[in-house]
Amino acid sequence: MKLSTTAAVITGGASGLGEATARHFAGAGATVTLLDRDAERGNRVAKEIGGYFAETDVTDEASVQAAIAHAMDKMGRISACVNCAGIASACKTVGRDGPHPLDVFRRTVDVNLVGTFNVSRLAAFEMAKNDPEPDGARGVIVNTASVAAIDGQKGQVAYSASKGGIVGMTLPMARDLAQSGIRVMAIAPGIFMTPMLETLSEEVRAQLAADVPCPARLGDPSEYAALAGFITECGYMNGELIRLDGALRMR
């Protein structure tokens, strides 16, 4: 697969990792449809990159079905799906205010894990209809996990569980879709400069960056985008998780 001939759907495409990926793909010649809840920013980014936008709630089946149908109508096919939509929560199992709110745990898992699977399964259904390339390839799915899936910190129980689920479904999904020529990969970013971190003070961001061995800085979304692009074009990468974290090991 080549980015120049790729037709991609990218969730969370209005900001952060998703926006960077959309810009990287479009810059390499790909046709892109952004899926996001933020219609104002999503439409603006889509216009800037010459792509398309569909307002989408990844947790809602009908919403994603409509978004995928819109992408098919505008692009004619889907050959790549990059799932970047996600939320974070900070809450201990038992804290000063009592036990972890169950609705917060459910919402985090619903958006991050169920939402990722919801989009992946519907995108894969359309990918399977593509004419195969010479090596049998019809598409690729790149899902966003997190280093928290492996070494989550205190207060990350819901977030770590949701991202751990993404890691756990990578290989079986790849095996499920192998007969259709669809690859599945996962990226586990470390601490990246995304809208989630932009709300923190410069001092706190500097402290976080200091924990990264090399380079001692926060990750740039463009680095995630470059890896997603490489995975798309490297046809032998399948069923695996790649950490992108500057050798960070959280404690």
Say if 102 falls within a structural domain: yes
pLDDT of 170 reads 98
| pLDDT for res 171 | 98
Total number of domains constituting the chain: 1
Domain assignment present for residue 190? The answer is: yes
Q: How confident is the model at residue 195, as a pLDDT?
A: 80
What is the reported pLDDT for 206? Answer: 84
pTM of the complete model: 0.95
Domain that holds residue 40: 3-244
The verdict on residue 142 lying in a domain is yes
Whether 208 is covered by a domain: the verdict is yes
The enclosing domain of 134 has a CATH number of 3.40.50.720
Residue 249 lies in a domain: no
State residue 42's pLDDT score. Answer: 98
92, 122 Cβ separation under 8 angstroms: no
Which residue ranges in the chain fall short of pLDDT 50? none
pLDDT at position 153, please?
86
| Distance (Å, whole) CA 72 – CA 128 | 13
- Which amino acid would we find at residue 204? V
Instruction: Say if 251 falls within a structural domain.
Output: no
User: Does residue 176 sit within a domain?
Assistant: yes
Residue 250 resides in a domain: no
Provide the pLDDT for residue 163: 97
Question: Which of these is catalytic: 52, 159, 224, 236?
Answer: 159
Pairing of the two strands 80-83 and 182-189? unpaired
Is 52 one of the catalytic residues? no
